[in-house]
Structure 1
Amino acid sequence: MTQAKAIIVGASSQLSQEIVRQLSQQGVLLHLLVADPENLTEWVQQLPTPVTLEKLALDNADAAIATLKQAWQQMDGVDLILVNTGVNLYHPSLPWAAEQQMITINVQGFAAICNTAFALFKQQGYGHLGAINSIAGQRGGSSVAYHASKAFAANYLQGLSMHAQRLKLPLTITDIQLGLLDKAAMHQSRLWSAPLPTVAGQIIKALNKGKRRAYVTKRWMLMAWLSNILPEYIYNTRRWKKKGESK
C-alpha cells in the first residue's frame, strides 16, 4: 500500500502543529512550508514519520508558487495540500499598512497557493486541496480586511470546486470553516472553545471524508447561521462579555 503524502502550507501555529502531529502518527509523510523553519527543526525530529521543513515567503506570490512547486517535486507528488495561512492585524484606526499586509497574504498569497495546488493536482490526475478558513468570512467585521479575505477564500475554494466538476476531475476541495476559537478562549467560553487535539481531529476527519465544507468545531455551524440572519443593527452591536462584566 502506498504511503500517504501531504504538504502543509503554513505550519507555524499551534493548531497546524497539532494537525501535523496527528497526521504523522497516522503514518503520513509530510513536507511543511513555514515562515521560520528553524523554530520547528527540533520539534519535527520527534515526530514518528519523516518531515521536511522549508521556508515560505507568502507575501511574495511568485516566490510562494516556486516554493510549492519545489516541495511537490521533492515529494514526487502528494495526496493532500492543506493550507493554513493568514494574518489578522486589528487596530481601531485601520492603518493601511496592516490592511495591505492582510490582503497581500490572505488574498494574493492564498490564491497563489491554491491556484498552483489545483494545477499540480490536475496534472497528477487526482488530489485533495484543503484550506483552514474561518466563519469570520460570513459577514464583514471590525477587522475589515481580515473578514473580507476570509469571504474571498470561501468563494475562491467554491470556484475551484465548481471548475473541477466542470472538467470532470477527481479533485476534492475542502473548506474548513473554523470557529472563532481565539475569541472564545479569550472570553473563557467553555461552550464555544475546544482543546486543540479535538479541533485538529475534527479537521482531519472532515478531510478524510472529503467534505466540501465543514465547521470546526461542529457547534460553530449554528453561529455561522445566526451570523447570516441577524439584522445588521443587531449584528453590528453584538459582543461577548467576559465573566463578571456588567451589561
Structure 2
Amino acid sequence: MTGQKALIVGGTSGIGLALAGLLAQDGFHVETVGLPALPTSASSGLPHGVRAVHHLDMTRQPEALTALDGIIRRMGGVDLFVISLGIMHFNEELDWEWERRTIEVNVAGFAAAANVGMRFFLERGRGHLVGISSIAALFGHRAAPAYSASKAFITNYLACLRQNAGYLGLPITVTEIRPGFVDTPLLPPGGWRPWVVPVDEAARQIRRAIRDKRERAYITRRWRLGAWAVRLLPRFLLNRLR
C-alpha cells in the first residue's frame, strides 16, 4: 500500500481518526476532512503520519462538494476514499430538530461526500470507496428512528454505486462497513449495548476489510450472526426490544 493516497471524510474523530492513523502506518499518504475537532497543525492532535486535516461541513452544499473535489485534486487524486460521517441522538420524544439534523448530516452529507468520491473514481476508472454504515441499517431502534433510517439509506446508496461500477465494468470497489456498538462519544451511555468494541479494535478490523476489498464487513464479525438472529425474531418481540 506504500505510496497510495487516502482521504477520510469524518476523519477528525472516532473511527475515522483511528483508521487514519492505521492507514498512515501502512504507508498511505493520508489526509482527513471533518468538523474542527482537531487543530490544523499535524504536530498537535493528528495521528503520526497523517499529512493534513481539512475543516469542512458536508451539509453546506453545494460549496462542500466543490471544496471536497478540490482537496482530491490538490492531493493529485486518491486511491482510497473513506466516509465515516454521522451523528446519533436518542430521540424518544421525536424532537423534529434532532430528526432533521440527523437526516441532514447522515443522509445528505454522506451522499454528497460519496457523490464526489465516486465521480472521481468513475473519471479515473478505478478506486476504492468505503462507507461506514451501522448494524442499525438492518433493524431500527425505537429511540433513534432518523439514525436507523439514515443507515439503511447508506446501505442502499452504496449498493447502487457498486452496481453502477459493475455495470460499467470498472475496477471500483465499494465497501460497506457495518459496526455494532463502538466505544466512541457517539455511543449513548447506559442501556443494552452488547459486544461493545474499543474504537482502536474497530479500526483494525475495518483496515482488514479494506485490505481484503470486501463488499461488506461487520464490526465485530460476530454481528453477522447477530444480524441473522435478529431477522428471525417475531415482529411482536422486535417491537418490545429496548
Common topology (TM > 0.5): yes
Does structure 1 residue 136 correspond to structure 2 residue 136?
A: yes
> Which consecutive segments of 4 or more residues in structure 1 shift more than 6 A?
none
Gaps of 5+ in 1: 240-247
Taking a change above 3 Å as real, the CA distance of residues 14 and 137 of structure 1, as seen in their structure-2 partners, is same
Give the whole-Å Cα distance in 1 for the aligned partners of 2:40 and 2:145: 31
Residue 213 of structure 1 is aligned with which of 209, 212, 216?
Answer: 216
Letter aligned with residue 19 of structure 2: I
SS of structure 2 residue aligned to 1:222? helix
| Identical counterparts, % of pairs | 34
Distance 1:120 1:37 in 2: 27
Partner of 1:151: 152
Q: Does 1:97 align with 2:92?
A: no
Q: Which amino acid in 1 is paired with 2:177?
A: I
TM-score of the superposed pair, with normalisation by structure 1: 0.89
Q: Which residue of 2 aligns with 1:238?
A: 241
Q: Secondary structure at the match of 1:8?
A: strand
Matched, 1:198 2:182: no
State which drifts further: 201-210 or 19-28: 19-28
Deviations 1:151-207 (A, max 9, x none): 000000001001110011110000001112346984696x71223322111101101
2:45 aligns to what?
Answer: 43
Residue range with higher mean Cα deviation, 29-38 or 163-172:
29-38
Measured in 2, the distance between the counterparts of 1:61 and 1:139 equals 30
Q: Bigger CA drift: 191-200 or 121-130?
A: 191-200
- Contact 2:177–2:206 (8 Å) recurs in 1: yes
Deviation string 1:92-113 (CA, Å, 9 cap, x unpaired) is 2111111111111111111111
Structure 1 partner of 2:24:
24
* Distance (whole Å) between structure 2 residues aligned to residue 87 and residue 237 of structure 1: 25
1:210 and 1:120 map into 2 onto residues whose CA distance is 19
The structural deviation recorded for 1:237 is 1.4
Superposed CA offset, 1:10-30 (max 9, x none): 013232221111111111111
Does structure 2 conserve the Cα–Cα contact (< 8 Å) formed by 1:184 and 1:193? no
Q: TM-score, normalised by structure 2?
A: 0.90
Aligned-residue offset at 1:238: 2.1
Larger Rg: 1
AA aligned opposite 2:159: Q
Distance in 2 separating the partners of 1:7 and 1:86: 16
Give the aligned length: 236
Q: Distance in 2 between matches of 1:197 and 1:144?
A: 28
Residue 184 to residue 217, structure 1, CA distance change in 2 (3 Å): farther
Aligned to 1:243: none
Question: What whole-Å deviation, never above 9, does each CA across 1:45-74 have from its counterpart, x for those lacking one?
Answer: x61x35111111122231221121011011
Bigger share in helix:
1
Deviates more, 1:225-234 or 1:31-40: 31-40
How far, CA to CA, are the matches of 2:189 and 2:221 in structure 1?
16
Structure 2 residue ranges without an equivalent (≥5): none
